[in-house]
Structure 1
């Protein structure tokens, strides 16, 4: 499937937001928004995990949007610890549905801090699907998520220990897909991450 990359910009709650859309051939099945890791630790929409998620969703037939949170790259504003970033994600989701189809299902995803932001945004936006890669539980006040959320975590995550992720998931009876011997950034395991997401949506009506 041919995927076109298209830069976009919109007026967000703290000023201009920049991003990149992965646009598949043909009519899109859904809109996916991908949130990047912690800006104060160098996280941007060009993070390899965020890019992998964007590519994967576009290969599944979604229009997938990556974007820079406020204060990152050309996006205006300042880091807000998650509160403002949740508003940023909501603004991008609204923009995506306005541009590509109000009736399209919404999929939210995020890596690390972006997973925390996506989980927060999901409480208000009620997406059809939520995909979290190494969400920053323990470092931020992760909310509970819906039971069919896909959570992928590395066994040897050096930033967000697997034990913390399990402690968050346990009271929710929430399954976690654990990649043995993988670290926080899924080095050498991005293809496996992609395949897990694709299998999750195999036969699923987006």
Structure 2
């Protein structure tokens, strides 16, 4: 993401997981971040990597909010071992990243874009009690081909009105039974082309 990004390999369920870590630079959170955030990227079979622009934008917003932020490559992407597993193994990968890099006593935030948002819900559902995430951020969540797990009421969900990959209607159908609010960005497609700055600002403004 920038010159200060630390790239690291950690041990995962099927071998190495490639991670990129960005830390807050503001004086308040430089020494002790507000928490640790883990960001998951879009579908690897369609070119998704941790360097995807929307995933980076999500990470950037969380760094601005004071979180030490970790992006990682799902299995079979970059230097991460293994092969694509349709979300099951990927949620194992995400939990391995959490176990390796979360900081004791600090809150955990989980975020993801598209397929990564779907995987984030699966992983979050497996964390409970003191291990549970403080908040989830789902951008353009994949809600059509597979159903995400139910999420907490304060989950931040952002979707483009003109998403041509995951129809807004599919995400509303998933959110409706949970009475889960969805923030809609008017006129915006799946990859938020030309709207990444606005997306980053929206995440920052929507935080509590």
TM-score range, shorter chain: over 0.9
CA-based RMSD of the aligned residues comes to 1.2
Asked if residue 186 in structure 1 is aligned to residue 188 in structure 2, the reply is: no
> What secondary structure, in the 3-state scheme, does the structure 1 residue paired with 2:63 have?
helix
Aligned with 1:88 (options 83, 93, 102): 93
Provide the rounded CA distance (Å) in 1 between the counterparts of 2:144 and 2:192: 19
Q: 1:28–1:3: structure 2 CA closer, same or farther, 3 Å change rule?
A: farther
Deviation digits for residues 9-52 of structure 1, max 9, x if unmatched?
Answer: 10100100001000122211100000000000010000000011
Asked if residue 146 in structure 1 is aligned to residue 148 in structure 2, the reply is: no
- TM-score in terms of structure 1 length: 0.93
Provide the rounded CA distance (Å) in 1 between the counterparts of 2:62 and 2:4: 13
- Where do 5+ consecutive residues of structure 1 fail to align? none
Provide the rounded CA distance (Å) in 2 between the counterparts of 1:147 and 1:4: 34
> What secondary structure, in the 3-state scheme, does the structure 1 residue paired with 2:5 have?
strand
Deviation at 1:196, TM superposition (A): 1.2
- TM-score in terms of structure 2 length: 0.93
Give matches, 1:29-48, under 5 Å: 29-48=34-53
Runs of 4+ in 1 over 2 A off after TM superposition: none
Number of matched pairs: 198
- Where do 5+ consecutive residues of structure 2 fail to align? 25-29
